[in-house]
Amino acid sequence: MAQPLSTLLLAQLAIGLFAVMTSAQEVVPIRNEPLRVVVYSGDMLTFMAQLSVTFETCFSFEIDPLEPRPNLTFSVKDATLDDVMNAIVKAKPTYAWRRNGKTIEIYPVGHANPLLETRISSLRLSNTKLKEALQHLMYSSEINSAIANFGLIHGPIGGADDQSRSVSLSADNITLRQALNQIAETSGVKFWSFELIGPNRDIVSISLRTDVQ
């Protein structure tokens, strides 16, 4: 029976990594070993968020403003995490990936947003609730100035209302991207995305995914 394009199909596992119930489109993580076959066609953001759970690895996704709702179609065999990532950027050459500390970053080729490379002189958080930690970061003097200088506007911070998650970290001379990585890592969220939204694409939106199972 043919499956719809939005279905993630993972089959013929070699001590499987995760399995898919195609009827319910439910992904069940098992453990961190290679797959025989990965075939996917659907929403790129959803797939990236699921990878963070499947591989128990932190991910960040900077969404290309030229394609705010990217779709992804690819397949790969005998897939480790690196194999999956290489297959993704081969199928979607407008994106690249890299490791930055403990986080895998996916970002648009040639026009990554310079706001994310803004340096913060010092970031100190001690048992701070997740949303407060993100607000402290985004409204710091360096980021406030950069947002204004780039002609951008503060926007929503999504997925940060879980009161059970808190952040403790101490860092100096790091970029906004690195700071968001570390906040996601230390809070256990493991996935965040950055996007410019609004009719003029000038509203900064940060979103964390805590609902991925």
List, for residues 129-173, the tens digit of each pLDDT value.
999 999 999 999 999 999 999 999 999 999 988 888 999 999 999
Distance CA 158, CA 194 (A): 10
Residues 34, 196 contacting (CB under 8 angstroms):
no
What single-letter amino acid sits at 137? L
Residue at which a domain ends, from 51, 81, 108: 108
- Six-digit token string for 17: 């990594």
> According to the model, what pLDDT value does residue 209 have?
83
> What are the pLDDT digits (tens) for 177-205?
999 999 999 998 999 999 999 999 999 99
Same domain, 98 and 151: no
Q: Which range marks the domain in which residue 176 is found?
A: 114-208
How many residues does this entry show for the chain?
213
Same domain, 124 and 196: yes
Positions of E strands within the chain = 9-11, 18-21, 26-29, 35-43, 58-62, 71-79, 95-100, 103-108, 119-129, 153-158, 166-175, 191-197, 203-208
- Minimal CA–CA distance to 50: which of 25, 77, 23? 25
The CATH code of the domain that includes 192 is 3.55.50.30
Collapsing DSSP to helix, strand or coil, 195 comes out as: strand
Residue at which a domain ends, from 108, 124, 145: 108
